[in-house]
Amino acid sequence: MRYVKLLVTLGLVAAAAVGCGDDRAPAGNSVRDVDTAERARQVATAWEGSEAARVWRQGYYPLGDAVQLPDGAFHNDADKRAYATQNFQLRTHLPDTAKKQAKVRWRDGDSLTLPLTSARAAYDKLDRGENPGPALTVTGARLGSMTVLTSRGKATVPAWLFTVKGYDTPLKRVAVTPSKRPPSPIGAVQQETDELVPLSGLKTVAQDGRTLTVLAKHGACDDGPAVDVLETGKSVVLSASIRGTSDGPCTSQSLTEKVTVKLRRPVGERILLDAFTGRPVPYGEPYSASPSWR
């Protein structure tokens, strides 16, 4: 009963992930056909030298937050709660700009021109709370830039700089959207088991580039998730599984847990791939104040 309920819950997660932009990808393997280590090798091989990898290397895919907080944030628990609940108050006119596009610039000199997000659209991504609790007050906005870690290293990215009452430095919000992900050269695994499930996303990449924090799903009656790693010269394939499952009755809730993954060397410009979906591991949490791409 526990396994069936968890399988249904995780299956819904996988269906949402696989159904986004990979319609033309070749059919994936059933976990009955290959073990997890072999599946990881298949994913790495499929991406090696593929058209999808070429498109990926030319795109803008952030691996860092779309928001950078003011220095000293937050002064108190009320401000911290306001940000966590995405509760803002606008006390200024948001500027218009004649610019319709802007450039993302990498340290090696490469650049990419992308549509510029308006100040209003950027602000609306911050202010989603609409509740009577504490709020952060925005008193000004101007166009500037911020540094963001991407799949191609650090980049200078256009950003809207919002002045927040009580803080000396602005809250920055990226003013361009990530590139569209290419269709994967390999399809998702057709069936989930405790030995291989989809990852929920990438949370952080440490400064050393060797420590990743990923979000993984599991159930209420197991020992939690585990993540194995296959590193190649061009990719890092992550295989998520569920530890310590057992038969017997259990609640059907699905939990998300942070898992720390250590790499042998910095991820650099290698593609982070999910062994289950065969696709790049998405960055960010969809309902947080700083989502990026899913």
207 or 6, higher pLDDT: 207
Longest dimension (CA), the chain: 63
What average pLDDT does the chain have? Answer: 85
Residue type, 108: D
* 193 lies in some domain: yes
The total number of structural domains in the chain stands at 2
In the listed set 118, 145, 174, which residue is the last one of a domain according to the structure?
174
Range of the domain at 89: 67-174
- Phi and psi at 52, nearest 5°, equal -60, -40
Three-state secondary structure string covering 118-181: CHHHHHHHHCCCCCCCCCEEEEEEEEEEEEEEEECEEEEEEEEEEEECCCCCCEEEECECCCCC
User: Cβ contacts of residue 216 below 8 Å, gap of 6+?
Assistant: 197, 199, 200, 225, 226, 227, 240, 256, 257, 258, 259
Using the structure block, give the residue that is written with the tokens 């269709």.
183
Give me the half-sphere count of Cα atoms (radius 13 Å) on the Cβ side of residue 218.
21
- Is the domain of 11 the same as that of 106? no
Mean pLDDT of 226-241: 96
Residue 29 lies in a domain: yes
Q: Are residues 42 and 78 in the same domain?
A: no
Reported confidence tier of residue 6, pLDDT bands at 50, 70, 90: very low
- pLDDT confidence of residue 77: 97
The token duo for 105 is 């610039």
Average pLDDT over residues 25-51: 79
Reply yes or no on whether the pLDDT at 71 is more than 50: yes
